[in-house]
Amino acid sequence: MRGYVHRAGADGKAERSAAYIALGTNFGGNLRLKILEDAIESIQKEIGSIDACSCLYESLPGYDVVAHQKKETHDLSLPLHLNAVLRVKTNTTDPNSLLEILQAIELKHGRDRSSTAVRLHRKLDLDLLFFQDAHANTIEIQTEKLTLPHPRLHNRNFVLFPLCDIQPDLVHPPTRKQIKDLLVENLQRREEVLKGACSSSSDGNTAPAVYTLDGNLAIPRRCFALNGHQLWTVKGGAEAAVSDTLRWIEEVLKKYEIKENNAASDTPPPAFADTLLGLRRFLLQEPRGPRLMGVLNVTPDSFSDGLKFYNNVEAAMQHAQRMIDDGADRMIDDGADVIDVGGEARNPYVQEEVSVHSEIQRVVPVIEAIRKEIGKDFVISVDTRRSPVAEAAVAAGADLVSIGVSIHPKKIQ
């Protein structure tokens, strides 16, 4: 998956924070996956771009681990949760504002927070786990409404497993331990609970031991789902998780006898074959063929489209949408893979020099609108020969500079 840059402002300072968000749902049966994917669409529109995504996990409804205290009996009839974790790059610098946005997204997608809501019946659950500033400093907060890092994440396997998918070496400040070490501790805690239950049943007591294994200690089941935007394939994740995904893909390909080129086969391949093969190529970083770039000139004097999208952000955004729409739902797009925004014409008959300020005013609002309103995970580039314009465009949401400029390496990572 393409790497995201830290957004850099005109003063060279990074402006992109990172939010680690846990997603969960156990309401809706087979609709669980759609609920999560719809929530991710909202997150991209309201918060920022997806920088990393874990695999999917299916887990038991659970209670918090509270040592030496009576636990409630689990209702095993409750539906299993579907869980994942995202790392999102955002311009939001206030975690409290981010929490409000997440709660609004929950409400939009049917979350019931009323006093009559059935406990552990969650159509959508969004938890803010970690929040890092633009310099990758993990923020610690403890207020009435928000505690960061999330106060119970270190006890929850259904959070630790997907977190390990994307960043196993992330440090949990309260314990000063890495996520992978917290997961090992939780697995050891689980083993101790099971050993205790087994020993109590072998102390001469013929009655079977009655115990509850906390749902937070249960090992979640990693599951896989095809998705045209490469979700659920460990985007930006750890090598081990990517290897597991590739192993699953190979098993499916073998089971259905799918090969890279099935043209010579008498039996037509399954409908998902192209998506699965494309996913494998993507994870292996194999060549995918030419990429299509859609050019969006926001100038008054370009050759073919001068004045069409000049000083009209809405028209420019709609044109960008049309360029990507043809293939927005497929792994290998038929539409544009990159939207290239230009604010200075290359028309040799135009003699007037465009100022840096004017070029920034042309491209920045369009890039901001495309990144916010379309909400798709695609590449935006800026066509410029000037460093200040490139830096302002990156701050607005651009990922690439399509003409070489001189920018200090610390400003773009």
Q: Which DSSP state fits 261?
A: -
- Any idea what DSSP says for residue 292? P
Q: What is the CA radius of gyration of the chain?
A: 25
Q: Can you give the three-state secondary structure of 299-355, one letter per residue?
A: CCCCCCCCCCCCCCHHHHHHHHHHHHHCCCCCCCCCCCCEEEEECCCCCCCCCCCCC
Tell me the CA distances in angstroms from 208 to 72, 212, 215, 257, one per residue in order. Answer: 19, 13, 21, 47
Work out the number of other CB atoms within 10 angstroms of the CB of residue 191.
11
203 is catalytic: no
Q: Give 48's strand partners.
A: 90
At 96, which amino acid appears? N
Provide the 3-class DSSP secondary structure of residue 183. helix
- 59 forms beta bridges with 81
Which residue in the list 127, 181, 301, 325 is annotated as catalytic?
Answer: 127
Which residue of the set 7, 32, 87, 125 is catalytic? 125
Q: State how far the Cα of 79 lies from the Cα of 122, in Å rounded to an integer.
A: 10
Task: Respond yes or no: is residue 111 known to be catalytic.
Answer: yes
Q: Which of 7, 122, 190, 362 is catalytic?
A: 122
Place of tokens 């917290």: 182
Beta-bridged to residue 50, according to DSSP, are: 88
Strands 379-383 and 338-342: parallel
SS3 227: coil
Catalytic residue chosen out of the listed positions 7, 32, 111, 280: 111
> What is the token pair recorded at 22?
């846990």
HSE-up of 247 (CA within 13 Å, CB side)? 8
Contact in structure between 63 and 214 (CB atoms under 8 Å): yes
Cα separation, 57 vs 250, whole angstroms: 20
Task: State the CB neighbour count (10 A cutoff) for residue 50.
Answer: 22
- Which residues carry out catalysis? 111, 122, 125, 127
